[in-house]
Amino acid sequence: MFRALHEKIGVERAVIVNATLHGFDNRVVTDAIAKSDGKYRGVANINNAMSDADLVSLNKAGIRGCRFAFLKRLGGVGDMNAFKRLVDRAAGIGWHVDVYLEPGSIREFTPVLTALPTTYVIDHMGTIDAGKGLDDPEFKALLNLQKHDEKCWVKITGLERASSAGPPFQDAVPFARSLMENAPDRVIWGTDWPHPNVKIMPNDGDLVDLISLYAPEPAVRQKLLVDNPVRLFKF
């Protein structure tokens, strides 16, 4: 299904983010990478029970970052000291950190993020709410963080999550457009397939069609879809 979707929408390379439900077993990702002829990279779930050798092994298998979900439905913030130790270890092997934040927590997490020793990617456009408008203090905080911390990248995904109007989710386009214009060299795009925990299951073709609305310039689209992920994931 994954490959069929990519064939349909024209994706040639991909980054697979290990789902939370797999816990710290990353084999579903590393197996896919191994069968991809160099076309896939991955983002792993890690914990402090893993040895340095375990992390090096994941790196050799094509993992290029690790993910932390600070969501109440997934257990909340947790032990921040353990998080910092893991980030230090990830930074030591050249990984970036993917952070999935609870809606409305950008300002709370800004000091934590700016202190990180490595590049970090804010997932799902910071889980913004399009219904609150572009002047929402949380969205302004996200733009400020993205603009002024060169370690900060933003993943342009989840327009269907951000939308308050529903399909075709165009009310979320101005937010994606603002993030694109704010730091075009530090944005990446993703499908978020298979879209877990969404109120309305989107059509992936409709989501692809939105790209031309928030990234109408060919050179900027090239950065979003090709050049930036090549740098970040070391293709």
pLDDT digits (tens, 9 = 90+) for 49-59: 999 999 999 99
Average pLDDT for 140-167: 97
pLDDT of res. 78: 75
Q: Catalytic one among 185, 192, 206, 227?
A: 192
pLDDT of res. 101: 95
Gap between the Cα atoms of 11 and 33, Å rounded: 15
**Is the peptide bond preceding residue 202 cis, with omega within 30 degrees of 0?**
no
pLDDT confidence band for 235 (50 / 70 / 90) = very high
User: Percent of the chain having pLDDT more than 70?
Assistant: 98
Gap between the Cα atoms of 82 and 101, Å rounded: 17
Integer distance in angstroms from the first to the last C-alpha of the chain?
23
Q: Which of 44, 69, 68 is nearest to 56 (CA)?
A: 44
Q: Which of 142, 136, 135 is nearest to 180 (CA)?
A: 142
52 is catalytic: no
DSSP class per residue in 12-40: -SEEEEPPGGGTT--HHHHHHHHTTTT-E
Q: Domain-by-domain residue ranges, the chain?
A: 65-233
pLDDT confidence band for 14 (50 / 70 / 90) = very high
**How confident is the model over 168-215, as pLDDT tens digits?**
999 999 999 999 999 999 999 999 999 998 989 999 999 999 999 999
Average pLDDT for 125-151: 98
**How confident is the model over 58-93, as pLDDT tens digits?**
999 999 999 999 987 656 667 899 999 999 999 999
Query: What is the three-class DSSP state of 73?
Result: helix
Q: Which of 82, 88, 91, 87 is nearest to 99 (CA)?
A: 87
Q: How far is CA 230 from the centre of its chain?
A: 14
CATH of 65-233, one of 2.60.40.10, 3.20.20.140, 3.90.550.10, 2.20.28.10: 3.20.20.140
Gap between the Cα atoms of 27 and 47, Å rounded: 15
86: CB partners within 8 A, 6+ apart:
46, 47, 48, 66, 68
What are the tokens at 78? Answer: 């947790």
**How confident is the model over 16-31, as pLDDT tens digits?**
999 988 999 999 999 9
